[in-house]
């Protein structure tokens, strides 16, 4: 029987390869859910030979875990004898914490984010204080904000990127709070035109009746590039723009699944799945980007093992 090769790369929450001596449990199953490999290995980069069937059994699932880490995996890993198929997995500690960029680091490496965070603050000192207050008091919300803004930076429309159209974050409004799964931002109205055009080209899927899940929404479009961790942009066209502007209110979020039915069942029904966890989104989006060979997902924070 012909064989194919899978090259498995194991990373930590700082987006670095695990130490070479890390002991990892690796499980590989074929498209018929038959286990073809399951064992402990000491390596962060592993090459495996797997059977090649030239049918749907060649859609492999790769899972990995270490002592104290959360299991990560990817499906489908479509193999072929003609290439070595890479797989990139990120293993987070079971007890982890966020490690955010300082305001000074943001100024140096993410000037566009500093510009956006500073809008409406009054001055640089107040903008920095607002950022640090969010970091200290609502860390999951800040992680969500960074996840979506980073993904929006890399989400290209027919003209420019999604991030380029954002103008003013909504900071302290009880109607539009920052949460660990979404936030609100005022944007140039051309963003909606660009998203509709991108949708006609197959980059987004329109979600019908968005007001059912998003109160006051008029339309909603979801990126469909990846199998998971896609950006969704929900528009609230009837909310009045701040004085002196003609912006549109946008509610961005990232959910776990591409399938809209799974999105509805697993994320929206209270108590069934809970709010989207920004740590999970961080891992899923990073893995999905690597597998699709897109620019590395690199928000200005990492996830490390919790102290103590």
pLDDT digits (tens, 9 = 90+) for 17-28: 999 999 999 999
**Domains of the chain by residue range:** 3-90, 96-305
| Residue-level pLDDT at 212 | 83
- Average pLDDT of the chain, as a whole number: 91
Question: Residue range 28-47: average pLDDT?
Answer: 96
| Residue-level pLDDT at 273 | 41
- Give pLDDT tens digits for 148-169: 999 999 999 999 999 999 999 9
Residue 206: band (very low, low, confident or very high) from pLDDT cuts 50, 70, 90: very high
Question: Residue range 46-58: average pLDDT?
Answer: 96
Question: Residue range 85-110: average pLDDT?
Answer: 96
β-sheet with 84-90: strand ranges across:
45-51, 3-11, 84-90
**Which DSSP category does 69 fall into?**
B
pTM of the model: 0.91
Percent of the chain with pLDDT over 90: 82
- Tokens describing residue 151: 């993904």
In the Cβ-directed half-sphere of 15, how many Cα atoms lie within 13 Å?
17
Question: Residue range 101-114: average pLDDT?
Answer: 97
Tokens 């990120």 identify what position? 90
* Superfamily grouping for domain 3-90: Carboxypeptidase-like, regulatory domain (2.60.40.1120)
Please state, in angstroms and rounded to a whole number, the distance separating the CA atoms of residues 178 and 48.
44
Residue 293: band (very low, low, confident or very high) from pLDDT cuts 50, 70, 90: confident
Which H or E run includes 222? Answer: strand 219-223
| Residue-level pLDDT at 187 | 98
């Amino acid at each position: 029987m012909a064989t194919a090769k899978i090259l498995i790369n194991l990373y930590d929450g700082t987006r670095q390869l695990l130490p070479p001596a890390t002991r990892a449990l690796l499980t590989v199953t074929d498209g018929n859910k038959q286990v073809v490999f399951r064992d402990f290995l000491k390596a962060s980069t592993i090459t495996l030979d797997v059977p090649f069937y030239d049918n749907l059994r060649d859609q492999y699932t790769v899972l990995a875990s270490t002592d104290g880490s959360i299991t990560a995996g990817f499906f489908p890993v479509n193999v072929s004898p003609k290439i070595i198929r890479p797989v990139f997995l990120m293993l987070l500690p079971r007890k982890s914490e966020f490690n955010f960029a300082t305001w000074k680091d943001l100024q140096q490496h993410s000037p566009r984010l500093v510009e956006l965070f500073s809008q409406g603050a009054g001055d640089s000192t107040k903008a920095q204080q607002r950022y640090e207050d969010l970091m200290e008091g609502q860390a999951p919300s800040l992680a969500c904000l960074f996840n979506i803004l980073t993904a929006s930076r890399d989400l290209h429309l027919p003209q420019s990127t999604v991030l380029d159209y954002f103008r003013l974050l909504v900071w302290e409004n009880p109607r539009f709070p920052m949460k660990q799964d979404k936030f609100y931002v005022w944007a140039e109205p051309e963003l909606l035109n660009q998203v509709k055009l991108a949708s006609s080209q197959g980059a987004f899927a329109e979600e019908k009746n968005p007001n059912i899940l998003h109160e006051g929404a008029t339309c909603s479009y979801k990126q469909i590039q990846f199998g998971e961790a896609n950006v969704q942009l929900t528009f609230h066209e009837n909310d009045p723009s701040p004085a002196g502007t003609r912006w549109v209110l946008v509610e961005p979020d990232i959910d776990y699944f591409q399938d809209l039915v799974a999105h509805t069942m697993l994320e929206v029904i209270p108590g069934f799945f809970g709010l989207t966890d920004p740590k999970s989104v961080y891992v899923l989006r990073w893995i999905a980007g690597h597998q699709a060979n897109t620019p590395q997902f690199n928000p200005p924070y990492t996830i490390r093992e919790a102290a103590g």
